[in-house]
Amino acid sequence: MKMSLSPLGLGCAQLGNLYHAITGETAEATVRQAWDEGIRYFDTAPHYGLGLSERRLGAALSAYPRADFVVSTKVGRVLEPDPGGASRTDSQGFVVPAAYKRRWDFSRDGILRSLEDSLERLGLDRVDVVYVHDPDRHFEDTVNGAFPALLELREQGVVDAIGAGMNQAPMLAEFVRRFDLDVILLAGRYTLLNQPALDDLLPLCAERGVDVVAGGAFNAGILATASPGTMYDYAEAPAELVERAQRIAEVCERHGVELPQAALALPAAHPAVVSVVVGAHDPGQVRLNAERFRRPVPRELWTDLIRAGLLREDTVLRQEERP
């Protein structure tokens, strides 16, 4: 990849009023706090708040030199006006008026339109990274339309890097095999509770030099606090998973480590991972996550988790951190 990503990135779904509304001032302050913490990589998407995240992120980043930050956005959902929906609230988790509707479109024309619209909302003349977003049910269209279009855009110098962002590992691995990708965004599939990406995807990315951005390190909430929460992958967590998270938290505590601290450190320690992206609803959350990310985790923690059967034995860490 031509550019480098800051080790900690800001995921910007919350800037689009994910789960609850925040003010424009809070969104701007959140980005400003991220900048003050040394974060220079910002990830957004049209899906996040029906474009609100992109608009807020672009406005906040206008205060900084364009060459000093990296922005990624996503394609696959085209936003179309829906005047009849303006009186309703979006039904996909974002507290915004449903004045637009999402239309899946992984065709070449859809990719070009989506990117053009994103640039307008962001107020930028380019984005650095473009991911194909959640193509789980659109494999053929992605292979035949989206990636050829993105490869063309990269060849033309319109974007620097291309990839895919998904909540699963097998299809991402297939894309890495088929295409010359620069980076993937893997959400929730290499975490303290869930490591299926070790089966195929992460070794493949390491072999082929494809950078990995790790998202969903907290699995949507269960790992976000010192005592495990009850939400896992956007749904109520099964009791056995909460119990497993509690056992992990107890091992962490013996090493003087908070559960969220370990949750951020695990993906960051894999050689293929170049950045861990974490969302935040306000500046305080950014500050707390940055502090946790900077704290070192003793290598003995991983050893003890493996010995307790709470972490896979084939967990791969950077050489200097290997247990």
> pLDDT (tens digit, 9 = 90+) per residue, 252-306?
999 999 999 999 999 999 999 999 999 999 999 999 999 999 999 999 999 999 9
Pick from 286, 265, 292: which is nearest to 276 by CA?
A: 265
DSSP string, 102-161: EEE--SHHHHHHHHHHHHHHHT-S--SEEEEE--TT-HHHIIIIIHHHHHHHHHTTS-SE
Domain ranges of the chain: 8-308
Residues identified as active-site = 48
8-308 is classed in which CATH architecture? Alpha-Beta Barrel (3.20)
Q: For residue range 120-142, list pLDDT tens digits in order.
A: 999 999 999 999 999 999 999 99
SS3 call for 227: coil
CB-based burial, 303-321: b 16+ in 10 Å, e otherwise: ebbeeeebbeeebbbeeeb
Residues composing the chain: 323
Q: Quick check: pTM over 0.85?
A: yes
Query: What are residue 83's phi and psi, to 5 degrees?
Result: -55, -35
Q: For residue range 137-179, list pLDDT tens digits in order.
A: 999 999 999 999 999 999 999 999 999 999 999 999 999 999 9
d(CA 297, CA 317): 12
Q: Residues near 204 by Cβ (< 8 Å), separated by ≥ 6?
A: 173, 176, 177, 210
**Which residues face 211 on adjacent strands?**
183
DSSP string, 237-249: PPHHHHHHHHHHH
